[in-house]
């Protein structure tokens, strides 16, 4: 079986963007691939450096999010980055093969510096993250990586490292992993920001209650130029219609087209379309909420899922590290 490796940064709970960007593909492929899901808790320190205790809570929440979209712990290995010391040894070796300039040229890193307002106040760990990520993926020799569009540049870095090490040693130690971008590579936020992001406060969480969904949708950004329901409205790029298109079951298709037509002609108000979206999202989230309930009050089960995953990955990554060192001639 080929291997999938992907993961989440436990800096907050998972949202609709994560669903269409990566979670959906994880669930779909769980029977065809051996799947590893990493929680990048050490990496989360780049965002939560002053409150590290929150990261463990978020790790449990994010595990719950993954289980609630239908990932079966019998098929999937979940593990925490901080529990696998081999990752950092592999990353240290990798970092010798990445130039400082190459690390700074990463477009996702550049975007995040701007979108998160980091200025020149970012850590070395933040800049190095694509190298740690290469170690996250390659410690289990992951071949396919279901991710959102913002991760494409990181994957390119991983491939470069794999290629370079293979060429250097003359052995096929590492695969060159491929990105699998989700149905929506980058889902827009409720505020119209091109990315729904857990650090951007523009999310609808998979764990939101019906009431929270309603509140967030009713406050959503739509067409800023439309003041009255009789004004012709813009459908393209309007987050309300983007969510309708992406989270409604096929049966609503005609109704959505009708709303789009009326919206363009100024024949329907924002409130009516938003109320419809509330129903659509609550229907979509129904089964996810139900699955979450079945796992929520089982802290021992959640802990043992992670414990088993950690120990499995420690074993695999020890073998990978030993192989790498041996091929580099480090036989001490």
Query: Is 73 a residue that touches ligand ATP (CB under 6 A)?
Result: no
Residue 29 or 93: the one with the smaller Cβ distance to ligand ATP is 29
246 makes contact with ligand ATP (CB under 6 A): no
Among 242, 113, 151, 227, residue whose Cα is nearest residue 190: 242
CB closer to ligand ATP, 22 vs 320: 22
Q: Which residues ranging from 180 to 209 are in contact with ligand ATP (CB under 6 A)? A: 184, 186-187, 195-199
If you write DSSP's letter for every residue of 176-191 in order, what string do you get?
A: -PEEEE-SSSSPPPTT
| Beta-sheet pairing, 76-80 with 3-8 | unpaired
φ, ψ of residue 24 to 5 degrees: the values are: -60, -45
Closest by CA position to 115, among listed 220, 11, 197: 197
Q: Does 150 interact with ligand ATP (rule: CB under 6 A)? A: yes
Give the largest Cα separation in the chain, rounded.
Answer: 77
Contact positions with ligand ATP (CB under 6 A) in 19-38: 20-22
Per CB under 6 A, 147 contacts ligand ATP: yes
User: What's the min distance (Å) between Cβ of 135 and ligand ATP?
Assistant: 17
Which C-beta is closer to ligand ATP: that of 20 or that of 268? 20
Counting contacts by CB under 6 A, is residue 63 touching ligand ATP? no
How far is the CA of 114 from the CAs of 75, 122, 265, in angstroms?
38, 11, 37
Q: Which of 4, 9, 141, 144 binds ligand ATP (CB under 6 A)?
A: 9
Closest-CA residue to 160 (of 189, 134, 185): 134
Q: Please give the residue ranges that form the binding site for ligand ATP (CB under 6 A).
A: 8-9, 11, 17-18, 20-22, 47, 147-148, 150-151, 184, 186-187, 195-199
């Amino acid at each position: 079986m080929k291997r999938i490796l992907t993961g989440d940064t436990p800096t907050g709970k998972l949202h609709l963007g994560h669903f269409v960007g990566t979670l959906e593909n994880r669930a779909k492929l769980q029977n065809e691939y051996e799947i590893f899901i990493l929680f990048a808790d050490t990496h989360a320190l780049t965002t939560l450096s002053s409150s590290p205790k929150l990261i463990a809570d978020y790790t449990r929440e994010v595990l719950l999010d993954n289980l609630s979209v239908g990932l079966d712990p019998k098929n999937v290995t979940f593990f925490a980055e901080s529990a696998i010391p081999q990752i950092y040894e592999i990353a240290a070796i990798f970092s010798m093969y990445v130039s400082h300039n190459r690390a700074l040229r990463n477009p996702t890193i550049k975007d995040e510096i701007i979108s998160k307002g980091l200025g020149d106040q970012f850590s070395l760990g933040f800049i190095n993250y694509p190298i740690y990520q290469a170690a996250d993926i390659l410690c289990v020799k992951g071949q396919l990586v279901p991710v959102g569009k913002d991760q494409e540049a990181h994957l390119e870095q991983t491939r470069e490292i794999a290629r370079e090490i293979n060429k250097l040693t003359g052995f096929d130690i590492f695969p060159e992993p491929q990105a699998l971008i989700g149905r929506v590579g980058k889902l827009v936020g409720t505020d119209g920001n091109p990315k729904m992001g857990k650090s951007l406060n523009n999310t609808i969480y998979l764990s939101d209650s019906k009431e929270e969904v309603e509140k967030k949708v009713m406050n959503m950004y739509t067409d800023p130029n439309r003041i009255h329901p009789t004004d012709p409205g813009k459908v393209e790029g309007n987050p309300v219609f983007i969510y309708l298109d992406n989270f409604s079951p096929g049966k609503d298709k005609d109704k959505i087209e009708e709303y789009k037509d009326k919206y363009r002609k100024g024949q329907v108000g924002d409130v009516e379309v938003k109320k419809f979206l509330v129903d659509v999202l609550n229907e979509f989230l129904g089964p996810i909420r139900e699955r979450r309930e079945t796992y929520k009050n089982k802290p021992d089960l959640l802990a043992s899922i992670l414990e088993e995953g950690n120990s499995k990955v420690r074993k695999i990554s020890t073998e990978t590290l030993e192989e790498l060192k041996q091929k580099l001639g480090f036989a001490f």
